[in-house]
Amino acid sequence: MKQFLLGLCLFMTFGLSQAEAQKYFTREGKISFYSDTPVEKIEAHNQKATCILDTESGKMEFAVLVKAFQFEKALMQEHFNENYMESGTYPKSVFKGQIANAADVDFSKDGTYDVTVEGELTIHGIAQTVSTPGQITVAGDKISATAKFETKPENHGIKIPSVVRKNIAEIVEIDVNVALEPFKR
């Protein structure tokens, strides 16, 4: 139910007035993050990211419920949600932006296109401007998108206690992989 409401909110923020534009959507986007230090490797995966892409304007939005990230160790997941991300207070992370070079992508023609995605990434209630390379693949009536970028937890107000500071990387890598289908009302 939460995923449906999150998806509906995303669609509503795009505005129903753009009904003539083709929109693509998923509730099963994959977002992973990696923290690699000499002391510990941490990774988590979330396969419930919601994404909507407007192929006419190049606008795209992502929303992910923080509690949906899965860790190998349950204790890591608990600490992530309670101590660092404070997912009770900040239940979701959001990206709102667009494909900067959307004119270079022919959404009506199969192929893989290099893109630059720019926008605002809000994690832990703090927004930061992001610009990252990615790829859009068009295959029939489906579109997939991938990107990798890095962020610093401190840039989003995430405090890492000194006792575990060496366990968590200063820069965390984030992978995005979504398979989108035409949005059907």
pLDDT in tens, 51-96: 999 999 999 999 999 999 999 999 999 999 998 999 999 999 999 9
pTM reported for the whole predicted model: 0.83
Cα–Cα distance, 102 to 108 (Å, whole number): 13
Residue 44 is predicted with a pLDDT of 97
Q: How confident is the model at residue 21 (pLDDT cuts 50, 70, 90)?
A: low
Ordered by where they begin, the domains of the chain are: 2-13+23-182 (2.40.128.110)
Per-residue pLDDT reduced to its tens digit, 145-173 = 999 999 999 999 998 888 888 889 999 99
Q: Provide long-range contacts, Cβ within 8 A and 24+ apart, for 132-139.
A: 134/176, 136/99, 136/105, 136/112, 137/111, 137/112, 137/113, 138/105, 138/106, 138/107, 138/108, 138/109, 138/110, 138/111, 138/112, 138/113, 139/110
Residue 68 is predicted with a pLDDT of 97
Which range is least confidently modeled, 3-12, 76-85, 131-140, 155-164? 3-12
